[in-house]
Amino acid sequence: MAVLPVRRDDSHHQEIAERLIFESGRPVLIFPERPARPLAGSFANIAVAWDGSRPAARAVGDAMPFLRRASHVRIFSATDDKPMPSAARGREFAQQLTSEGVDAIYEEVKKTDQHTIGSFIENYVAAHNSDLLVMGAYGHSKLREFILGGATRSVLMNPPGWIMLSH
C-alpha cells in the first residue's frame, strides 16, 4: 500500500495520486496535507462508499484488515447519483461482511441536487465522524471524469480525511 499526502487543489499532487492508484496495482491511502480537522490515529469508524462496481469491491477486499479491526463500518450508497444495484444487494453485501466478523450496516442515502457527489461524500464522512473512507477509484472513463468531475476526482482535490482508494 502506498501512503500519500495530498495538497488541496494541487494538480501535481493529484496527478501523483492518480498514477499510483492506476499504475501500481495496489491500494493507495491518501490524506490531506493540511487537514481541516485532526486526522484519526486509528480507524475505528469506517465509511465505505458502495456503488456495486468492481473497483468498489476491490477497495473493500483491500481494506479487509482495517474493516475487521473497526468498531463500526457504515456502507453507504447515494440513491440518486447514478444507476445502482438494488438495495437488497447492498444489504447482502453488509451481511456478508458481518458473517466475516465485521460490524457492518448498509444504508441508502438520497444525495439531492444540492450536492455534487464529492460534497455528498465529504458531508457523509463528517456527519458520521468516519476515521477512514474506503472507495473504488473511477467508475467512469478518465475522460468523462475529467470533463464531468466525479467522486474520485473530488476526493483527490479535497480529501476529507484518510481515504483508501483501489482500482
Question: What pTM was computed for the model?
Answer: 0.90
pLDDT score for 153: 84
Nearest-angstrom CA–CA distance, 7 and 155: 11
Q: Does 88 or 30 have the greater pLDDT score?
A: 30
Indicate the residue type of 18.
E
Cell reading at 15: 496527478
Average pLDDT, integer, range 4-30: 90
pLDDT score for 61: 95
Report pLDDT digits (tens) over 67-123.
999 999 999 998 875 566 555 688 899 999 999 999 999 999 988 777 788 889 999
Average pLDDT, integer, range 6-22: 87
pLDDT score for 116: 85
Nearest-angstrom CA–CA distance, 56 and 137: 7
Average pLDDT, integer, range 5-28: 89
Cell reading at 91: 444489504
Q: Contact 136/164 with Cβ under 8 angstroms?
A: no
User: Helices marked H in the chain — which ranges?
Assistant: 11-23, 54-69, 87-99, 117-127, 142-148, 151-157
Q: What confidence category does residue 2 fall into, taking pLDDT thresholds of 50, 70 and 90? A: very high
Domain at 2-31+42-166, CATH from 3.40.50.620, 3.40.640.10, 3.40.630.40, 3.90.226.10:
3.40.50.620
Q: Contact 155/163 with Cβ under 8 angstroms?
A: yes
Q: Contact 60/74 with Cβ under 8 angstroms?
A: no
Would you list the domain boundaries of the chain?
Answer: 2-31+42-166
Report pLDDT digits (tens) over 139-155.
455 554 554 457 888 88
Which of 136, 143, 79 has its CA nearest to residue 112? 79
